Structure 1
Amino acid sequence: MTDLASRPRLLLRRLHQVMAGPGSAQERLDKLTTVIAQNMVAEVCSVYLVRAGEILELFATEGLKKEAVHRTRLRFGEGLVGLVAQRVLPLNVQEASTHPRYAYRPETGEENYHSFLGVPIVRHTKVTGVLVVQNVKPREYSAEEEEALLTVAMVLAELVGSGELVDPAEIANGLNQSGLPLTIQGQKMADGIAMGTAVFHEGRVEVTHFVAEDVEVEKARLIDAFETMRQQIDRMIASPEIGTAGEHREILETFKMFAYDRGWQKRIFESVDAGLTAEAAVERVQQQNRRRMASSTDPYLRERLSDLDDLTNRLLRTLAGRMDGQDLHEPSIILARTMGPAELLDYDRTNLAGIILEEGSSTSHVAILARAMGIPLIGRCRDISEHVQAGDRLILDGDGAQVLVRPSDEICETYSESIAFQHEQAAQFRAERNLPSITRDGVRIQLFINAGLQADMAHLDALGADGVGLFRTEFQFMVSATLPRLEAQQEFYKNVLDVAQGRPVVFRTLDIGGDKAVPFLPREDEENPAMGWRAIRIALERPVLLRYQLRALMAAAAGRTLSIMFPMIADMSEFKAARNIALKELARFERLDIARPAKLEIGTMLEVPSLAWQLDPLLKLVDFVSIGTNDLMQFFFASDRSNPRLTDRYDLLSPPALSFIRMVVKACDRAGVPVTLCGEMGGRPLEAMALIGLGLRRLSISPMTVGPVRRMIRSLNVKQLEDYILDMIDLEDHSLRVKLRDYARDHLIEL
């Protein structure tokens, strides 16, 4: 590539000759990739062009497999190519496969190429494509080489802009009437991809009459409306789809509590007494509530605004004689500014494909309910209603947190194929659910799931998991307006254990605080909430809260094994204090002759590095250890996992991280204490392979990752892998990812 830096004019002249020469636009583009690869001393040169809906299609290549041309497609933001288009910036990567956005496309044959340099092809400030060069040898391209490729991209933009390769009308159709891009970004709040017709949620009734002609008549209308509204909510709670317990039922019970709130009702009637119509009184009180709650610094109160909006709108629709919800005659995606949980249940689930909100958060009641019901939801799509019309075709891409408005038939076909592939793969994994997680050399690996909703428990049978290695208990507290009653907690935990049918369930005690606000505890702003007043720190400062939860857990597990673990333990004294509280509660059950667990197992999360240097005395007290990699690795690298600027700075497959985990595993093995890894790291087949090579035999992972990890396990030989990885973890490499991927390929391990 040094030739290019010293002779740019020669290359540009050659490019212009090809562009002005004979042949179709496609033929000339093919020749251009060959010329660029030769002059840049690159094994690969590829050109991806933008199609409608911000899809990048491989149009020409020198070096990759020719059959991938016009077949390989990536969305903006997907893979390294999509990242270049999304950021409109060059991307220079020495080891492409280590980048967190790396998306492997097997049809291209690109697995042999390590280094990657991609630049955007820009015409009139609009991205029209991406130009990429790749080399087999890992290397970082120089600034001069990067600048040279940008210059080449400018020349390519001329050919792309001619319209001979992609019809300009196709791209124009990808814009809405206001000229804004077809793709609207949001925030993923419930997983999934959905396709359907846009339907606007009728969230409000316009109040037109404000002054009451007869106050008593207005009061009578209000009484009837309150009664009708409450009957609707009671019917929702009694619905078979809601079930007898679960956090989504808790949400509706909280919602019902608002509906029966006497203070709210009293203020509305007082407004009618002042001379307003029933509708105007409801509207006035809600405006007062919005002013009061919107100014609150309590995030829980701000989130409850949508619940009160739901009740207000429901009451107004009842007064106006309107029915709740809308009939959906085809797969539909509901658009709303915001939505309450009961409003979601007004819709027929049969044709409700997804939800798009202009506001909202992942902890809102409607988001939690959508996740429990398996409905894809994207929030924070600002002003989307200005760019969408009722009846428009939409694609809700939960993975990319984006909405595609009026996509072409071709784009819909692409997404349909992707959805069909996911369904087909999921069906294959379900078919394999009864296959044992045993390696080729006979080593049994236990696969547990992480859960937090009662709806998650259905995955145990569907996926053939060994149990629940981590049940997060805080959601029940986050969705309740008050501290959940002891009986409600006990019923909830009992239902979880009943569904498990004897399979182990490990309950993590409350991990609240930080970004998990609950309404019954004061919350102060913290500069570093992840390392602040949360989890066991709250529990030890408020021991009654911990005792209350432990009492419910012990009563729920009467006659059965109860496994509990404490989160965020940074010092052995914290574990001792929490353990003593648990043992005192168990002694209380014995003293009062209350039915109690047949066996109590007490463990700890290891997610603060300091605890690893207290393992020897700690392991004499604990019944088990769970390595929580999500928090552990961000503390290990002092790297905020939510900061996008740091996502590719550190690699979990680096020698230091793997050596640390190996140290913990060996200490637990020596002490005969079971150790499980809980976290996203264990749910990725390559990382899971490395963890097994380090000696881990128990993984607790997201339900959706059980199938791929099980398939990987059944294809590997543990003894060979251990010998390989233990020779590698003392290296000084930044990451072992590429070496491990090569090992998996050479040994036919399915990733």
Structure 2
Amino acid sequence: MIKANADADVARRLLSRLRDVMAGGGSAQERLDKVVHAIAESLRTAVCSCYVMRAGEVLELFATHGLRQTAVHQTRLRVGEGLVGEVAAHGRSLALADAWSHPSFAYRPETGEELFHSFMGVPIIRGSRVIGVLVVQNREERGYSDVEVETLETVTMILAELLATAQVVSREELLPADGIGLLPLRLEGLGLNGGVGLGTAVLHQPQVRVSRLVAEDPEAELVRLNLALSSLRSELDAMIHNDEVVGDFHEILQTYRMFADDKGWVNKISDKVRSGVSAERAVQSVHDDTRVRMQQVTDPYLRERLHDLEDLANRLLHHLVGEEGRAHIKDLPDDTILVCRNLGPTELLDYDRSKLRGLVMEEGSRTMHAVIVARALNLPVVAQVKDVFSIVESWDPLIIEGDHGQVFVRPSDDVRETFERSLQVRQKQLELYASLKGTPTVTRDGVPLTMMLNAGLLIDLPNLDETGAEGIGLYRTELPFMARPSLPDVAAQTALYSRILDAAAGRPVVFRTLDVGSDKVLPYWHGDPEENPAMGWRSIRITLDRPAILRQQIRALVRASAGRELRIMFPMIAEVAELLQARALLQREIDEHVASGGVPPIAQRVGTMLEVPALLWQLPQLLRYVDFISVGSNDLLQFLFASDRGNQRVTDRYDSLSAPVLTMIKSLAEQCSAAGVTLSVCGEMAGRPLEALALAAMGVRTLSMAAAGIGPVKAALLSANLAEIRAYLLPLLDSPDRTVRRKLRAFALDHGVRI
């Protein structure tokens, strides 16, 4: 206890000395030299060195006390090389009594470090990135205490500000080579919402400028922290109870609000405050540390929750420093394209929605809360654009193209004019699609088709009226499960499904039962890691192994469908026996509902997704037990071609418009028609005009797709003669060519089909 108190006193005195150094004059190099000297003297270490990250992931010795001064700005280590590189690579502190015995030790003779045996290195982190490493060494083999490690970690908070504000490494040096200068650039990313946006870059910089780093009175800082936390919670409660926050937004905010009460998060911040730093610096430090660790986590759900924590930390900082620290987001250009590394679930709503034209992200994924909100606002979104936050400057002209995942930075006049013309054409197309909304989908040769909507959230439901879709051909029930911190009970599910059926206003809704696993992870289920999760324990396999979960969902669907038609579809069925198991659970729930006095559905239609190729060879048996089959083309084709659709190397290797795929669809359509079973396609194939023409020509009469696809597909079908297209395609099914796409496109254009 006495030693711990003494170490704490040393830490406080050191912080006081460093505060004086920071406040004093001199160049950044002079202050850095004073810092390493003060640390070595206070901690009684023979060496203290500061390494700074330079371009190309290289750590350069910038200042030292104890090593040879001739090594400064000469000694360099790659990230991952040596003990210093090891600390930088993992973003974690490392303390060793005998550094020479560690397998990562790398000797640099120019430094004279052969005299020193013990080693402690701490990463210098700012804004989620390791920007340097602080090292102390001793001649003798010495173990470093936890308090000494924590002291050095506290010191690195101050060093991070010094290195950043003094710009010891220029921003231009850290830019990728293509990003230097003002040349036009085309950046590639992942399109998460289609559309085109032309506008002006506004950098989303939520991080608050923390100028007060060290505090004299830790108890007073704890009081400030608790008051700020109380204000933050009140602000979030007010957002949750806002009348405009309904449905999925409400679920997202409820989940987000739980983080503000997380004891682990609050305790970590409080411990940092007790070490002698200000409350705001403690919040920033805990966040930076959490972010570096979370970036090494492979679980997609946990990585997405990092964005919630980042948003929360920034809001807490605003409450600590006041309005002067808040990013200025009100005076936006009228054509704002928001550029960010990532975005918390509430941050997009802070901006004037009428001025937003698009969203560009350095990170991001389809299930990210901010992306869900952006889709609801109909903003084009391109994510996973490498280094975009470093390359793009505020007020740069930008073009975002969400359909193909492209961002044009400082585009030339001819590129801009091309996109402006494209926007005009797009607007005319949208007007055409809107005019077709009430027109029945009947081809030129009189074949009627049914256009349905894919949905997964309440915010998707207005698209029923806006597109003129005849119903919901696929409602993904797993998305609300993914937005919650725990499994929703029967009452919550019943209320949700009732709202969906009410919004459909008598139009059919096909509910797909819970389809999780693979790339769709729930926070409250922790399965074992799998080498091939897409073909592993997922979807119906999980819910048949955990029948209580499936029964609760079916019970909720039966209750919500009382006096209405129930359409239910089971995913990832690989054999008829699995379907019969699921049907037995459905019948059991209906029987129990009726026995307890409940009103049953007036009719029930049961179907299956066709995603596993094995089911194709069980069709005669399968067709006896289903009312409809819906082809999930995304999974079916990846299994059919043994081609991982998440692997960029093979994504374009096989084509959905190939002879084997069309032959399979033709055979499936003929067998379903003979059995009187409805066949639909609800994968991405259905939402693309050319593919939709081929599907319809092969005999598919129901197509279900995202809202954006309904207009283009309907226009193509209305202008097509299916008999002519079928007659053209059938001889091509014997072709050895890898695709019929080019030939079908040429045929469609020659025959006046709108594609």
So what's the TM-score if we normalise by structure 1?
A: 0.72
Residue from 183, 191, 194 that aligns with 1:191: 194
SS of residue matched to 2:247: coil
- Identify which range, 524-533 or 618-627, moves more after superposition: 524-533
Write the distance in 2 (CA, Å) between the matches of 1:649 and 1:409.
35
Write the distance in 2 (CA, Å) between the matches of 1:294 and 1:375.
27
Residue from 663, 670, 673 that aligns with 1:669: 673
SS of residue matched to 1:646: coil
Q: Residues 230, 671 of structure 1: CA spacing in aligned structure 2 closer, same or farther, 3 A cutoff?
A: same
The amino acid of 1:689's aligned partner reads L
1:203 aligns to 2:200 (yes or no)? no
Using the TM superposition, give the Cα deviation of residue 549 of structure 1 relative to its aligned residue in structure 2, in angstroms.
2.0
2:132 counterpart residue number: none
Cα contact 2:184–2:412 (8 A) shared by 1: no
Per-residue deviation, residues 615-656 of structure 1 (Å, max 9, x unmatched): 112111112111222221222222333444434443333332
2:27 counterpart residue number: none
Using the TM superposition, give the Cα deviation of residue 433 of structure 1 relative to its aligned residue in structure 2, in angstroms.
0.8
When the two chains are superposed, the root-mean-square deviation of aligned CA atoms in Å is 2.6
Write the distance in 2 (CA, Å) between the matches of 1:624 and 1:576.
15
Write the distance in 2 (CA, Å) between the matches of 1:596 and 1:187.
45
Write the distance in 2 (CA, Å) between the matches of 1:686 and 1:335.
33
Residue from 205, 229, 233 that aligns with 2:236: 233
Write the distance in 2 (CA, Å) between the matches of 1:359 and 1:719.
46
Using the TM superposition, give the Cα deviation of residue 745 of structure 1 relative to its aligned residue in structure 2, in angstroms.
4.3
1:403 counterpart residue number: 407
1:571 counterpart residue number: 575
Unpaired runs of 5+ in structure 2? 1-176
- Identify which range, 563-572 or 259-268, moves more after superposition: 259-268
- Identify which range, 550-559 or 731-740, moves more after superposition: 731-740
1:545 aligns to 2:546 (yes or no)? no
Cα contact 2:539–2:571 (8 A) shared by 1: yes
Per-residue deviation, residues 232-289 of structure 1 (Å, max 9, x unmatched): 32343344553x212x332211111112334433544455456543223423443554
Cα contact 1:186–1:381 (8 A) shared by 2: yes
1:496 aligns to 2:500 (yes or no)? yes
Using the TM superposition, give the Cα deviation of residue 475 of structure 1 relative to its aligned residue in structure 2, in angstroms.
1.5
1:717 aligns to 2:721 (yes or no)? yes
The amino acid of 1:611's aligned partner reads L
Per-residue deviation, residues 653-709 of structure 1 (Å, max 9, x unmatched): 333222211221121111111111222222222322222222221111222221222
1:624 counterpart residue number: 628
Per-residue deviation, residues 501-535 of structure 1 (Å, max 9, x unmatched): 11111111122111112111114443322222211
The amino acid of 2:432's aligned partner reads Q
Write the distance in 1 (CA, Å) between the matches of 2:660 and 2:334.
53
Cα contact 1:439–1:714 (8 A) shared by 2: yes
Using the TM superposition, give the Cα deviation of residue 329 of structure 1 relative to its aligned residue in structure 2, in angstroms.
4.0
Q: Residues 261, 446 of structure 1: CA spacing in aligned structure 2 closer, same or farther, 3 A cutoff?
A: same
Write the distance in 1 (CA, Å) between the matches of 2:242 and 2:356.
17
Write the distance in 2 (CA, Å) between the matches of 1:299 and 1:494.
30
1:593 aligns to 2:597 (yes or no)? yes
Write the distance in 1 (CA, Å) between the matches of 2:754 and 2:289.
59
Cα contact 2:476–2:511 (8 A) shared by 1: yes
Q: Residues 528, 437 of structure 1: CA spacing in aligned structure 2 closer, same or farther, 3 A cutoff?
A: same
1:749 aligns to 2:750 (yes or no)? no
SS of residue matched to 1:412: helix
1:310 aligns to 2:311 (yes or no)? yes
The amino acid of 1:205's aligned partner reads V
SS of residue matched to 1:506: strand
2:50 counterpart residue number: none
The amino acid of 1:354's aligned partner reads G
1:704 counterpart residue number: 708
Cα contact 1:307–1:340 (8 A) shared by 2: yes
The correspondence of residues 43-442 of structure 1 with structure 2, limited to 5 A, is 177-178=180-181, 182-239=185-242, 241-242=244-245, 244-246=246-248, 248-269=249-270, 271-272=272-273, 275-287=276-288, 289-290=290-291, 293-322=294-323, 323=326, 326-327=329-330, 328-442=332-446
Cα contact 1:229–1:315 (8 A) shared by 2: yes
Write the distance in 2 (CA, Å) between the matches of 1:648 and 1:674.
30
Write the distance in 2 (CA, Å) between the matches of 1:567 and 1:641.
18
The amino acid of 1:657's aligned partner reads V
Cα contact 1:178–1:387 (8 A) shared by 2: no
Cα contact 1:198–1:389 (8 A) shared by 2: yes
So what's the TM-score if we normalise by structure 2?
A: 0.71
Q: Residues 329, 292 of structure 1: CA spacing in aligned structure 2 closer, same or farther, 3 A cutoff?
A: closer
Q: Residues 708, 581 of structure 1: CA spacing in aligned structure 2 closer, same or farther, 3 A cutoff?
A: same
Per-residue deviation, residues 585-615 of structure 1 (Å, max 9, x unmatched): 2222122223443322211011111111111
Cα contact 2:194–2:381 (8 A) shared by 1: yes
Write the distance in 1 (CA, Å) between the matches of 2:182 and 2:527.
43
Write the distance in 1 (CA, Å) between the matches of 2:610 and 2:178.
50
Write the distance in 2 (CA, Å) between the matches of 1:587 and 1:324.
58
Q: Residues 325, 556 of structure 1: CA spacing in aligned structure 2 closer, same or farther, 3 A cutoff?
A: farther
1:9 counterpart residue number: none
- Identify which range, 511-520 or 382-391, moves more after superposition: 382-391
The amino acid of 2:472's aligned partner reads V
Identical counterparts, % of pairs: 47
1:164 counterpart residue number: none
Q: Residues 394, 740 of structure 1: CA spacing in aligned structure 2 closer, same or farther, 3 A cutoff?
A: closer
Using the TM superposition, give the Cα deviation of residue 566 of structure 1 relative to its aligned residue in structure 2, in angstroms.
0.9
The amino acid of 2:311's aligned partner reads D
The amino acid of 2:460's aligned partner reads D
2:483 counterpart residue number: 479
Cα contact 1:200–1:336 (8 A) shared by 2: yes
Q: Residues 354, 720 of structure 1: CA spacing in aligned structure 2 closer, same or farther, 3 A cutoff?
A: closer
The amino acid of 2:353's aligned partner reads R
The count of aligned residue pairs is: 576
Cα contact 2:573–2:610 (8 A) shared by 1: yes
Per-residue deviation, residues 281-304 of structure 1 (Å, max 9, x unmatched): 423443554465445443322221
Write the distance in 1 (CA, Å) between the matches of 2:710 and 2:722.
19
Write the distance in 1 (CA, Å) between the matches of 2:292 and 2:648.
34
The amino acid of 1:714's aligned partner reads L
1:527 aligns to 2:528 (yes or no)? no
The amino acid of 2:436's aligned partner reads E
Using the TM superposition, give the Cα deviation of residue 728 of structure 1 relative to its aligned residue in structure 2, in angstroms.
4.8
Unpaired runs of 5+ in structure 1? 1-173
Cα contact 2:565–2:603 (8 A) shared by 1: yes
1:561 aligns to 2:576 (yes or no)? no
- Identify which range, 306-315 or 547-556, moves more after superposition: 547-556
Cα contact 2:208–2:327 (8 A) shared by 1: no
Q: Residues 749, 556 of structure 1: CA spacing in aligned structure 2 closer, same or farther, 3 A cutoff?
A: same
The correspondence of residues 650-661 of structure 1 with structure 2, limited to 5 A, is 650-661=654-665
Cα contact 2:184–2:408 (8 A) shared by 1: no
1:612 aligns to 2:608 (yes or no)? no
Q: Residues 410, 180 of structure 1: CA spacing in aligned structure 2 closer, same or farther, 3 A cutoff?
A: closer
